Amino acid sequence: MTRWQIFPAAGSLAFAAIGLWPAWATGQAVKWVSLGTTRDGATFYDPAGAVRNGKRVQVSIRAVPESDTPISFIARVELDCEQPSLALISGQQFGADNEVVRSRTVPANQIERDPLFEGSEHAQLYRLICPKGPPLHKFKGPPIVVVPGEE
């Protein structure tokens, strides 16, 4: 199980999650800024809660599904503006009543960084947080093979 599969009920939005710190740690309301909407839901980030430490920036992101599933997700992630990558630091999944149904903080010695690719769902966040960072990786891999179903 990868760190992005910690919250399987959130589906693909678990990767595009949201952070908790700004609202609860500071007692101030978070002003979420939209990163866009996909068929899965909407993703937001908290620019005011971004914390820079050298070439790395921790920021909170939030995912809200478009489906009837009453689950949302908030995560704290760290972007590396020198080596374009993203790491999950912590996350919480919320149920229908906005109660925490699952929570996880990744131990510091287990944090893994995933490279960011052009066209990925976090490409826009990287460009906003790391405007002077190097270009994102081009996706490399075998071509996708589509096998028609039998009729």
| CATH code of the domain covering residue 53 | 2.40.128
Domain assignment of residue 89, yes or no: yes
Q: Which amino acid is at 148?
A: P
Domain assignment of residue 144, yes or no: no
Residue 85 is part of which domain span?
3-129
Domain assignment of residue 69, yes or no: yes
Domain assignment of residue 150, yes or no: no
Domain assignment of residue 59, yes or no: yes
Q: Taking a C-beta distance cutoff of 8 angstroms, is the pair 62, 114 a contact?
A: no
Output the CA–CA distances (angstroms, integers) from residue 147 to 54, 144, 150, in the order listed. Answer: 47, 10, 9
Q: What does the block give as tokens for 15?
A: 């990767």
What are the pLDDT tens digits along the chain (151 aa)?
A: 334 444 443 433 333 333 333 443 445 678 999 998 888 889 999 999 999 999 999 999 999 988 777 789 999 999 999 999 999 999 999 988 889 999 999 999 999 999 999 988 889 999 999 999 999 988 766 666 677 765 5
Q: Taking a C-beta distance cutoff of 8 angstroms, is the pair 60, 18 a contact?
A: yes
What pLDDT is recorded for position 8? 41
